[in-house]
């Protein structure tokens, strides 16, 4: 899929309609606009909020092209803050965060679709905000709708969609800008297990075909292992990295890989880390 790359501010702003996000200031002090070999790089990153809350401490890792990195950790350990720093919505207080902000997609648990717009028009929204002409945005939206398996639902409104379909729509809305980096903040957390697994299967296929770099957050260990090339475990706040697992499965992830002994073994190791993280 070949799309013109467009400004990060539109891509991020257009996928963020929660009030707190819209009031945040997007500062870009440490994010370089020059190309780096890593799509995202954090080095000794720390974050202390103005009220003294120490959210993140000394976190270093990279997300390279073709990598799908997932962060798991206890609630409140700083995972969402990490994504907000990566996108520029929150400014970190220490260390380095580097990446190409010209090309970031951001997907949240809340699909944040506009209720008065159809699927087609919701998916076109980011392209519209970027000033892309009508025919081109229609073409891109049609392609993105195909990629997320929403063909036949283009004329429906959000209230007519299931939770899974809303997430597909949200994903398609970001895909129209063809981002190099996708940030996922627990996108499937509100779905039932079967819908979630189906969307995981679809996301793996998208990742393989579209070749973006992904930074994903979830509470589900199985989801993390299934989707990722690498899983990082964070401690309780202030979040530090306490586990780092290269996932030894190839790019193709058949549905049944979830029932392999090796899959269960890695899940067990991560589970142990998380137990330590909570204690």
The interface region with ligand ADP, picked from 70-78, 133-141, 146-154, 173-181 by CB under 6 A, is 70-78
Phi, psi for residue 274 in degrees, rounded to 5: -70, -35
Smaller CB distance to ligand ADP: residue 49 or 260? 49
Are the C-beta atoms of residues 172 and 141 closer than 8 Å to each other? yes
53 part of the interface to ligand ADP, by CB under 6 A: yes
The interface region with ligand ADP, picked from 38-46, 71-79, 133-141, 164-172 by CB under 6 A, is 71-79
Are the C-beta atoms of residues 111 and 170 closer than 8 Å to each other? yes
49 part of the interface to ligand ADP, by CB under 6 A: yes
Q: In whole angstroms, how close is the CB of 29 to ligand ADP at the nearest point?
A: 18
Q: In whole angstroms, how close is the CB of 127 to ligand ADP at the nearest point?
A: 29
19 part of the interface to ligand ADP, by CB under 6 A: no
Smaller CB distance to ligand ADP: residue 52 or 248? 52
Tokens (6 digits) for 269: 């190791």
237 part of the interface to ligand ADP, by CB under 6 A: yes
Are the C-beta atoms of residues 68 and 205 closer than 8 Å to each other? no
DSSP conformation class of 239: B
Sequence-distant contacts of 148-151: CB under 8 A, at least 24 apart: 148/172, 148/175, 148/202, 148/206, 149/202, 150/119
75 part of the interface to ligand ADP, by CB under 6 A: yes
Cβ neighbours, 10 Å, residue 4: 11
Binding site for ligand ADP (CB under 6 A): 49, 51, 53, 55, 73, 75-81, 237
């Amino acid at each position: 899929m070949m799309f013109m790359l467009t400004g990060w501010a539109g891509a991020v702003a257009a996928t963020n309609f929660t009030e707190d996000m819209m009031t945040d200031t997007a500062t870009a002090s440490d994010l370089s606009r020059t190309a780096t070999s890593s799509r995202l790089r954090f080095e000794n990153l720390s974050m202390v909020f103005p009220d003294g809350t120490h959210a993140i401490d000394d976190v270093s890792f990279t997300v390279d092209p073709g990598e799908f990195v997932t962060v798991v950790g206890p609630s409140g350990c700083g995972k969402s803050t990490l994504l907000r720093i990566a996108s520029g919505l929150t400014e970190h207080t220490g260390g380095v965060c580097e990446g190409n902000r010209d090309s970031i997609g951001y997907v949240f648990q809340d699909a944040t679709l506009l209720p008065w717009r159809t699927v087609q028009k919701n998916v076109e929204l980011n392209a519209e905000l970027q000033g892309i002409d009508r025919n081109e945005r229609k073409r891109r939206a049609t392609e993105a709708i195909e990629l997320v398996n929403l063909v036949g639902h283009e004329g429906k409104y959000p209230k007519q969609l299931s939770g899974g379909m809303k997430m597909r729509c949200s994903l398609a809305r970001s895909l129209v800008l063809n981002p190099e980096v996708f940030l996922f903040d627990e996108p499937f957390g509100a779905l039932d297990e079967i819908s979630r697994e189906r969307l995981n299967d679809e996301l793996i296929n998208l990742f393989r075909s579209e070749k973006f770099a992904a930074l994903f957050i979830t509470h589900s260990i199985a989801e993390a292992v299934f989707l990722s090339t690498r899983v990082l475990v964070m401690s309780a706040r202030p979040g530090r990295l306490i586990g780092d697992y290269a996932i030894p499965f190839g790019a193709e992830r058949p549905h049944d890989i979830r029932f392999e002994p090796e899959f269960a073994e890695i899940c067990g190791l991560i589970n142990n880390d998380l137990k330590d993280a909570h204690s």
